[in-house]
Amino acid sequence: MTFHSFQTLPENPQPLRINWPTVAFFAGIHALALLAPWFFSWSALGVTLLLHWLFGSIGVCLGYHRLLSHRSFKVPRWLEYAIAFLGALSLQGGPIFWVAGHRLHHAYTEDEYKDPYSASKGFWWSHILWIFYPRQEFFNFECYQRFAPDLARDPFYHWLNRYFWLLQIPVALLLYALGGWSFIIYGVFVRCVILWHTTWFINSVTHMWGYRSFESNDNSRNLWWAAILTYGEGWHNNHHAYPHVAKCGWRWWEIDVTWWAIQLLKILGLAKDVNLPPANAVSLSS
């Protein structure tokens, strides 16, 4: 990624217009998730928690975020593809879309026009409204692909970026075979809604509330409950201060479940060149 490619973003883009099909899609998924009380079972709840971790912690946090967006460690290509596939199953967009947007977020954190989910525009904008009022440079493939050129050159990521949403169909069919409609309601709709909002909390609340361990040119914060819900991503000030470090929770009590998975991959010889916190890092408490 060259810095020049970031400079092509407009300083004052065209007025925003709401995308009603997108609103209808998210509203429909949320409405179906509300059926959960009528389809409850402990096994269905277990499916929700399992898939939230598998698609969220492994697919999004470890894969889309720490591996693909920041390249904070390396794994064999086959494993990278498998982890990215899990990220696509989260229904948070294809890998090129997700990575491009996140890299822009770091390049222009909280900039009103250049950060796709800028917290400077308020909680609801950074949490969800940025999706309902899409801007072409962030949502049109021909525009955003230049912000993730390493992925855009790869045919597999092209395919995954285009067809990620279709992957919910085999997931739903498998869940139906295992547990009927209860597993579909919980394993698809409830899981999607919870995973969406826990991910969006990192865009919104961790730029508003919490404590700061490091000086950074933004309002990023470390927020304990957001870290619990997102397997370690809530230690957001640590991450913004050192975005290419694979570990988000630095202190012993800053629980980072995703980091545990990276450590396991390292022990198994599957993760290499893992970026660790620098020895000369200076915290605000120093």
C-alpha 132/C-alpha 24 separation (Å) is 10
The pTM (predicted TM-score) of the whole model is 0.94
> Residue 11: its pLDDT value, please?
67
Listed by start position, the domains of the chain span 17-267
Is residue 5 a contact partner of residue 150, using CB atoms and an 8 Å limit?
no
Residue 154 is given by DSSP the state -
Q: Could you tell me the pLDDT band of residue 281, with boundaries at 50, 70 and 90?
A: confident
Q: Could you tell me the pLDDT band of residue 4, with boundaries at 50, 70 and 90?
A: very low
C-alpha 144/C-alpha 63 separation (Å) is 19
- Altogether, the residues listed in the chain come to a count of 286
> Residue 15: its pLDDT value, please?
80
End-to-end Cα distance, the chain: 34
Task: Give the model confidence (pLDDT) of 167-186 as tens digits.
Answer: 999 999 999 999 999 999 99
C-alpha 263/C-alpha 275 separation (Å) is 11
* 3-state helix, strand and coil shares in percent for the chain, rounded to the nearest 5: 65, 0, 35
Task: Give the model confidence (pLDDT) of 34-92 as tens digits.
Answer: 999 999 999 999 999 999 999 999 999 999 999 999 999 999 999 999 999 999 999 99
Which residue, among 104, 109, 116, has the nearest Cα to 69 in the 3D structure?
A: 104
C-alpha 191/C-alpha 218 separation (Å) is 31
Average pLDDT for the chain: 94
